[in-house]
Chain A
Amino acid sequence: MAATAPPSRVTRAGGITGNRTVFAIACGLMVLFLLVPLAHNGYLENLVRGVLMFATLAYGWNMIGGYTGYVSFGNVVFFGLGSFTSAALWQHFQQQNVLVAIVASCLVAVVFALVFGIPILRLKGHYFGIATLGLSIAIQEVIANIDWLGGGSGFTVRQIEPFQIYYYAMWGVCAASMAATFFVARSKFGYALVAIRENEEAAAILGIDATRMKVLAWAISGMMAASAGAVFAGANGFVDPPTAFAIDNNVFPIVMTILGGVGTAAGPLVGALVLTAINETLWTHFPQIHTLFFGAVIVLVVVFLPRGVLWLLSLRGGIAGYLASVKAYRV
Chain B
Amino acid sequence: MSAILEVRGVGMRFGGLHALSDVTFSIEKGSVVGLIGPNGSGKTTMMNIISGVYKPSSGEVLFGGKRIADVPMHDVCKLGIARTFQIVKPFANLTVRENVAVGSMYGRTGSKRNSAQSFARAQELCEIVGLARVADKNASDLTIPDRKRLEVAKALALDPDVLLLDEVMAGLNATEVDEALQLLRDVNARGVTLIIVEHLMKAIMSISQSIVVLAEGKKIAEGKPHDVVASSAVVEAYLGSRFARRQEELAQTKREAEEAARVEPQ
Q: Is B37 part of the binding interface, using a Cβ–Cβ cutoff of 8 Å?
A: no
Residue in A16, A191, A209 whose beta carbon sits within 8 Å of that of B74 in the complex: A209
- Whether, in the assembled complex, A235 has its beta carbon less than 8 Å from a beta carbon of chain B, the answer is no
* Interface check B28, CB cutoff 8 A: no
- Return chain A residues, CB-CB under 8 Å to B53: 201, 205
Pair B120/A3 contact, Cβ less than 8 Å? yes
Residue A8 at the B interface, CB < 8 A?
yes
| Binary per-residue interface labels of chain B (34-71) against chain A in the complex, 1 for a CB within 8 Å, 0 otherwise | 00000000000000000101000000000000000000
B238 at the binding interface (Cβ < 8 Å): no
Contact A199 B89, beta carbon cutoff 8 Å: yes
Contact A206 B73 (CB under 8 A): no
Q: How big is the B interface, by class?
A: 35 or more
Residue in contact with B136 in the complex, picked from A8, A187, A203, CB distance below 8 Å: A8
Chain B residues lying within 8 Å of A16, measured Cβ to Cβ, are: 94, 98
User: Is B103 part of the binding interface, using a Cβ–Cβ cutoff of 8 Å?
Assistant: yes
Assembled-state Cα–Cα distance A188/B90 (Å)? 18
Distance in Å: Cβ of B196 to nearest Cβ of chain A: 17
Return chain B residues, CB-CB under 8 Å to A295: none
In Å, the complex CA distance between A7 and B73 comes to: 29
Chain B residues near A209 (CB-CB < 8 A): 72, 74-75
Chain B residues whose CB sits within 8 angstroms of the CB of A9 once the complex forms: 95, 98
Residues in chain A near residue B138, CB distance under 8 A? 12, 14
Is there contact, CB below 8 Å, between A195 and B115? no
The reply to whether the CB of B222 lies closer than 8 angstroms to some CB of chain A is no
Q: Does A198 contact B (CB under 8 A)?
A: yes
Q: Are A4 and B102 in contact (CB under 8 A)?
A: no
Chain A residue contacts of B103, Cβ below 8 A: 206-207
> Quick check: B108 and A207 within 8 Å, CB to CB?
yes
Quick check: A205 and B76 within 8 Å, CB to CB? yes
Contact A7 B74 (CB under 8 A): no
Nearest CB in chain A: distance from B100 CB, A:
10
Q: A191-B98, A194-B91 are in contact. Are A207 and B78 (CB under 8 A)?
A: yes
Q: Contact check, A8 vs B95: say whether CB atoms are below 8 A apart.
A: yes
Q: Does B105 contact A199, Cβ atoms closer than 8 Å?
A: no
Pick from B72, B91, B108: contact of A202, CB below 8 A.
Answer: B91
> Could you say which residues of chain A place their CB within 8 Å of the CB of B106?
188, 192, 206-208
Please count how many residues in chain A sit with their CB below 8 Å of the partner chain's CB atoms.
31
Contact B110 A207 (CB under 8 A): yes
Indicate whether A5 sits within 8 Å of B123 (C-beta atoms), given known contacts A207-B74, A207-B77.
yes
Residues 182 to 199 of chain A near chain B (Cβ within 8 Å): 186-188, 191-192, 194-195, 198-199
Confirm or deny: B101 has a beta carbon within 8 angstroms of a beta carbon on chain A.
yes
Contact indicator A205/B83 (Cβ below 8 Å) = yes
Task: State whether A4 and B89 are in contact (beta carbons under 8 Å apart), knowing that A192-B105, A205-B51, A208-B106 are contacts in the complex.
Answer: no
A2-B127, A3-B123, A204-B74 known; A198 and B98 CB under 8 Å?
no
**Contact present for A7 and B132 (CB under 8 Å):** no
Tell me the A55-69 residues at the B interface (CB within 8 Å): none
Partner of A7, one of B83, B90, B92, B98: B98
* Chain A, residue nearest B120 (CB): A3
- The residue that A194 contacts in the complex, of B82, B83, B94, B118, with Cβ under 8 A, is B94
Tell yes or no: A210 within 8 A of B by CB. yes
Q: Which of A7, A8, A201 contacts B89 (CB 8 A)?
A: A201
Residues of B within 8 A of A205 (CB): 51, 53, 73-74, 76-77, 82-83, 85
Residues on the A chain within 8 Å of B124, using CB: 3
* Distance between Cα atoms of A14 and B102 in the complex (Å): 16
Contact of B102 among A12, A187, A191, A263 (CB under 8 A): A191
Q: Does B93 lie at the interface of the complex (its beta carbon under 8 Å from any beta carbon of A)? A: yes
Minimum CB–CB distance from B150 to chain A (whole Å) comes to: 11
CB neighbours of B89 from chain A (8 A)? 199, 201-202
Q: How many Å from the CB of B87 to the closest CB on chain A?
A: 10
Q: Are B91 and A208 in touch, CB under 8 angstroms?
A: no
Note all chain B residues with C-beta closer than 8 A to A195.
91, 94, 102
Give Cα distance in the complex from A263 to B110, angstroms. Answer: 24
Contacts of B73 in A (CB 8 A): 201, 204-205
Contacts of A4 in B (CB 8 A): 120, 123
Q: Are A210 and B91 in contact (CB under 8 A)?
A: no
Q: State the Cβ distance, B108 to closest chain A Cβ, in Å.
A: 7
CB closest chain-A residue, reference B76? A205
Residue of A nearest to B108 (CB): A207
Measured in the bound complex, the distance between the Cα atoms of B194 and A215 in whole Å is: 35
Minimum C-beta distance from B154 to chain A (A)? 7
* A194: B residues at CB distance < 8 A: 91, 93-94
B interface with A by C-beta (< 8 Å)? 51, 53, 72-78, 82-83, 85, 89-95, 97-98, 101-103, 105-108, 110, 114-115, 118-120, 122-124, 127, 132, 136, 138, 154, 157-158
Given contacts A12-B138, A206-B77, 18 further A-B contacts (CB under 8 A): A8-B95, A15-B95, A16-B98, A191-B94, A191-B102, A194-B91, A194-B93, A194-B94, A195-B94, A198-B94, A199-B90, A201-B53, A201-B73, A202-B85, A205-B85, A206-B157, A207-B107, A207-B158
Offer 29 A-B interface pairs, CB within 8 angstroms, sorted by A.
A2-B127, A3-B120, A3-B123, A3-B124, A4-B123, A7-B97, A9-B95, A9-B98, A16-B98, A188-B110, A191-B94, A191-B101, A191-B102, A191-B115, A192-B106, A194-B91, A198-B93, A198-B94, A201-B89, A202-B85, A202-B89, A202-B154, A205-B74, A205-B76, A205-B77, A205-B83, A206-B107, A206-B157, A210-B74
